[in-house]
Amino acid sequence: MTSTAPNPVTGAPTTDAWGIDASWLDALDEEHTVAQATIDRLREVIGTPPEDLLDRAPIVARPGDALEVDLADVECEDGRTRQVDGELPEDFPLGYHRLRTPDGRSRRLIVSPGRCWLPEGWRAWGWAVQLYATRGRESWGIGDLGDLRTVREFAQAQGAGFVLVNPLHAVAPTPAQEDSPYLPATRRFRNPVYLRIAEVPGADAVDVEADAGRALNDGELIDRDAVWALKRRVLQRVFDAGVDEGPFRDWWWHEGQPLMDWATWCAIADEHGPDWHTWPEPLRDPRGSGVADFVTGHDREIAFHAWLQWLLDVQLKAATEGTTVIQDLPIGVAGGGADAWAWQDVLAQGVSVGAPPDAFNSQGQDWGSPPLVPWRLQAADYEPFIQSIRATMAGAGGLRVDHVMGLFRLWWVPAEGGAAEGAYVRYPHEDLLDIVALESHRAQAIVVGEDLGTVEDGVREAMAEHGILSYRLLWFEDDEPAQWPAEAMAAITTHDLPTVAGLWTGSDLAEQRERGLGTEEELERGRTSLLAHLGSVPEGASPAEAVEVAHRELATAPSTLLSATLDDALAEERRPNMPGANERPNWCLPLPVPTEELAAHPGVQAVAGVLSAGLHPVTTKGKVKSGKRSKSTGRSTRTKPR
């Protein structure tokens, strides 16, 4: 494997047989060459795929496509057998099938509609919510699924068509809780810290310590360790007192092996810690005899963690009923977590995902998640990716793919060096995009791709071809909102960037300065650049006035979705996360207004009124156009922090 192939997106001859790009362009279109030592190290990590990989890797196609094989039988998902000869009939069913050739070879056949589901002509506005921050009077120190229901209900009453929430994925069940929603232990299961304890079946029969729970709301910051310690103690008490296991066991049976793996990992983590690399050797292999023996002796502990997921499924469905709730899919998982344990043969060891040096961080960034090895992902029939996408879409009607460019390429950072010493590794993006489209079609879920950062040639065009909405920010766009594309979610800011009030008052700049996140010149230049996008705000305006004017500008965008943060509506000056500020309480800042009072807040009403004007969301389900493949061209760049 020493040849060099054209870059699959740009066509430039820079990608080698391992999928590694020998060079990369930054946001200023300056080319950088990757060190040979980095390339050699990544080749070692990636390894050599089996010679017959292309003969047994999944075929991802659309009805009417020509196939790579001639005569073959296809065992369809529904149990029927169909014969294909060189191409898929136009009426071939969508889904995951098994293709068998006359010579006895078998491979997965994935048939996709090619475009994500989106009701034709549908437009809507909605609230972007950091759920953990949205705590009400009945919360226990953190926003929960009961609070999400409250937000959903008042959003519906205001005319909103969706709610966008931070990742709700689970972390390790151990005492020291991970604060960042973007570094979960799994992308397939949810975090029980979001359970509303009073609504758990059987909670009324035990001491739920409600007063102690509500007292956690008095803290200025969200203390996940304290919240989880109390919630876990009460949940264990409810479970031990006896629960109606009929509905739960039926649900568990349908969830199958993935839930068993998750619950087993949790039970082992309770005894041996949250990083599977440090466990006793016999427990590191999820299919080994040591884990089988552990399961035999810990059935109640495993059932407890599975039960928590059933509760979350029930409460999430109640919280989202009748409204599209767009859930966020993180770029990866913790290297010691459950998904990394279950799929350790598919994940790269000794590297992590990050970003090259840019205007926000001259040293580059390391996000701490191990990447999937592209050829191993193919050899696994794309199952790790499929399960993650499917689980995050489930029960809510929407998906936001964090760093959607990662479906095309990811910046791999070797453990031995800094983030600046990494390189881009390519992924089979056409297959991955078609899988997203198939899962979107099945779940009837809209899909948004977070295409902020350096966006190379062809990415946005490929997203548009697959019906994935782009993500446009007032802070980043040079054009006025009225000129933004219709196939997009339009917003002002994100959790990683300044709020309108923080930018307008200068408090965000002051905090960056205090935390040493750049030189005075760099920080002033950054603020001046962002303030230029608030040019229509009159001098001397209050933060609340600046927020309203900014949203009036946003409301002129023809984009399919218009999104506003509750932080902005409340004129909150602190952003949820300030990348690079490691001592800051990132992801731990509660909103200043209880959930029950949000609907009546003047700022929330003002923003809702502005975005509602002229928007008439269509609630009926529209048709989905079939996808056509074409070569993508063009370039758009911007930079975002992590």
Which region holds residue 267: left if phi is over 0, alpha if psi is between -120 and 50, else beta?
alpha
Cα–Cα distance measured from residue 310 to residue 205, given in angstroms and rounded to the nearest whole number? 19
Taking alpha carbons only, the member of 404, 400, 342, 332 closest to residue 368 is 332
For residue 270, give both structure tokens: 């309770």
pLDDT tens-digit readout, 361-409: 667 888 899 999 999 999 999 999 999 999 999 988 999 999 999 999 9
- As a whole number of angstroms, the distance between CA 106 and CA 100 comes to 4
Express each pLDDT in 151-186 by its tens digit.
999 999 999 999 999 999 999 999 999 999 999 999
pLDDT of residue 359: 66
CB atoms within 10 A of CB 202: 14
Average pLDDT over residues 612-641: 42
Q: Give me the pLDDT at residue 10, please.
A: 53
Tokens 């909670």 — which residue?
203
Q: Looking at the predicted structure, is the pLDDT value of residue 619 above 80?
A: no
Instruction: List Cβ<8 Å contacts ≥24 apart for 286-289.
Output: 286/261, 286/341, 286/342
Instruction: Give the H or E element holding residue 67.
Output: strand 66-75
Q: What is the pLDDT of residue 88?
A: 95
Residue 335 is predicted with a pLDDT of 96
Looking at per-residue pLDDT, the higher value among 70 and 3 belongs to: 70
- In this predicted structure, what is the pLDDT of residue 620? 35
Whether residue 640 has pLDDT greater than 50: no
Q: Give per-residue pLDDT as tens, 224-252.
A: 999 999 999 999 999 999 988 889 999 99
Give the per-residue pLDDT at 5.
56
pTM of the model: 0.93
Token output for 457? 């040639």
Q: Report the alpha-carbon distance of residue 109 to residue 68 in Å, rounded.
A: 11
629 has a pLDDT exceeding 60? no
User: What is the chain's mean pLDDT, rounded?
Assistant: 92
For residue range 576-591, list pLDDT tens digits in order.
999 989 899 999 999 9
Over its C-alpha atoms, the chain yields an Rg (Å, rounded) of 24
When mean pLDDT is compared across 160-174, 208-222, 621-635, the lowest value belongs to: 621-635
Q: How far apart are CA 605 and CA 314, in angstroms?
A: 30
pLDDT at 622 over 70: no
Question: Does residue 17 surpass a pLDDT of 60?
Answer: yes
Least confident residue range of 6-20, 33-47, 113-127: 6-20
The SS3 of residue 448 is strand
Q: Could you identify the residue written with the tokens 């350096």?
A: 454
Residue 273 CA neighbour count, 13 Å, CB half:
8
pLDDT tens digits along 143-152:
999 999 999 9
- Model confidence over 555-570: pLDDT tens digits? 999 999 999 999 999 9
Banded pLDDT at 630 (limits 50, 70, 90): very low
Helix or strand (DSSP H, E) at 478: none
Q: What is the pLDDT of residue 158?
A: 97
Q: Helix crossing, 299-320 with 257-272: angle to 10°?
A: 120
Three-state DSSP class for residue 185: coil
Amino acid at 427: Y
What is the phi/psi pair of residue 425, to 5°?
-120, 135
pLDDT tens column, 267-319: 999 999 999 999 999 999 999 999 999 999 999 999 999 999 999 999 999 99
Asked if the model's pLDDT at residue 1 lies above 50, the reply is: no
d(CA 248, CA 521): 58
SS3 content of the chain, % helix, strand, coil (to 5): 40, 15, 45
**Distance (Å, rounded) from C-alpha 498 to C-alpha 448?**
21
- Amino acid at site 618: V
Which run of H or of E encompasses 119? none
pLDDT(27) > 80: no
What is the spatial distance between Cα 401 and Cα 37, in angstroms, rounded to a whole number?
A: 32
352: Cβ–Cβ under 8 A, 6 or more apart, which residues?
335, 366, 367, 368, 369, 370, 371, 412, 413, 415
HEC-encoded secondary structure of 301-318: HHHHHHHHHHHHHHHHHH
Span 529-533, average pLDDT: 95
pLDDT digits (tens, 9 = 90+) for 322-370: 999 999 999 999 999 999 999 999 999 999 999 898 766 667 888 899 9
For residues 492 and 161, give the distance between their C-alpha atoms in angstroms, rounded to a whole number: 18
* Residue 419 DSSP class: G
